[in-house]
Amino acid sequence: MTAHLLLGLALSAGAADGPKPAADAPPADAPKTPDYKPKPIDPVTPEKLDSSIRRGVEFLIETQNKDGSWGSPALKGGVPIYAGIGSQHSFGVAVTAMCVSALIETGGDTPEVQKAIEKGEAFLFQELPKVRRDDPVLIYNVWTHAYGIQALVRMHGRLPADKDRRARIEAMIRGQYDRLVKYESAEGGWGYYDFDAGTQRPASNSTSFVNAAVLVALHEGKGIGVEPPPKVLKRGIQMTQWQRLPGGSFLYGTYLHTRPTHGINMHAGSLGRTPACNYALRLWGDPKVTDEVLEHFLDRLISRNGWLSLGRKKPIPHESFFAVAGYFYYFGHYYGAMTIKLLPAADRALYQDHMATLLMDLQEADGSWFDYPFYNWHKPYGTAFALMALAACKKEAK
């Protein structure tokens, strides 16, 4: 029972002898509410942070494919996930979009970085418009549309004087909006499987963390003047809010609404999803996502990081405690880092130091990051997430 419930029982029963406690004081034997606030740690120096970012950028430059993409469908460990040729194409375009975004944000302006960005952009210009659903069941392409939009937004800002290029990019963003309209779940929001009907408009379950990624991308598109479709946007927000549980965690998807205490829906199981959902809803003006809420779930992400870390690199999805899957690790930290940027400047340093320390300690010997052996897409996407998260850990000069 919670401390509040114990307090209520104690007050209703009354005490036969002795002084009564104040109305707002819990009984002496009441369990204490856990203190999730992480303790201050040694500040991360700019030199150490820059060195880690530089190693990650070098990994991306060194591993880029000749056609400008990153990764491949080659099975480099783990287990083969249900995915056809179209799904692998979606994965490749999504991962390339993430790597382009990461290089634009963190790579700097060396000739090597600029060449890698240009090759990646050329690949996206060619391949992003081709991405479709693999078959009636597999809708992994929704991820590609989300991260494709984010890459296009960064590409839009890279060469501001090139008006024709900007117009082309804006048209491509609208094309990705059209795909998100087409593949919207019948119940609103987006999912990546339709095991129920395989209908033209998917009967997929609205999935909280997919919705979050799409809503963030739609907000970024709006930020450069490309307005997202209002009805689809509204339904995506509503379905994400509907999946928020009273304690602040989020359902994995609507199909688990009758099992809210399933491990994956509880705080430990939702650690990697909650920051993304909070970030997306805050961007779109949800009044429930206050600074206090953002801080509380950053506190949980840091102090209870072990629940996510125990799933890291495990090859079978959801085999860890609370049904955590490895691929939530860098996803959760990326969006967690984005929520830090929404806090008042005076409140960011504690979280920036913890986030940067967590990520830098997990950097691989080759400069990459990865959390889940996923064909040969894992190191590029893990590195892209980590680089963009580390960029958010850079402190503003005082």
Tell me the pLDDT tens digit for each residue of 90-145.
999 999 999 999 999 999 999 999 999 999 999 999 999 999 999 999 999 999 99
pLDDT at position 31, please?
A: 59
Closest C-alpha to 231, from 271, 198, 188, 202: 188
Contact criterion met (CB below 8 Å) for 389 and 108:
no
Residue 20 has pLDDT above 50, yes or no: no
Counting the structural domains of the chain, the total is 2
Token pair of 391, please? 């960029």
pLDDT at position 35, please?
A: 86
Cα–Cα distance measured from residue 281 to residue 289, given in angstroms and rounded to the nearest whole number: 7
98 & 197 share domain: yes
134 & 262 share domain: no
224 & 266 share domain: no
Task: Work out the average pLDDT over 14-19.
Answer: 36
86 & 235 share domain: yes
Looking at 242, 275, 307, the residue that finishes a domain is: 242
Token pair of 147, please? 């991260």
311 & 279 share domain: yes
% of the chain exceeding 70 in pLDDT: 92
Residue 16 has pLDDT above 50, yes or no: no
The answer to whether residue 178 is domain-embedded is yes
The answer to whether residue 158 is domain-embedded is yes
The answer to whether residue 279 is domain-embedded is yes
pLDDT at position 29, please?
A: 63
156 & 289 share domain: no
273 & 225 share domain: no
Upper half-sphere CA count for residue 349 (Cβ side, 13 Å): 11
* Helices (H) then strands (E): counts for the chain: 14, 0
Cα–Cα distance measured from residue 15 to residue 28, given in angstroms and rounded to the nearest whole number: 13
Closest C-alpha to 264, from 206, 228, 300, 307: 307
237 & 300 share domain: no
The answer to whether residue 13 is domain-embedded is no
The answer to whether residue 382 is domain-embedded is yes
pTM: 0.91
The answer to whether residue 73 is domain-embedded is no
Contact criterion met (CB below 8 Å) for 376 and 74:
yes
Segments forming the whole domain that contains residue 318: 255-390
121 & 209 share domain: yes
236 & 195 share domain: yes
pLDDT at position 396, please?
A: 85
237 & 116 share domain: yes
Give me the sign of the Cα torsion angle 56, 117, 172, 167: positive
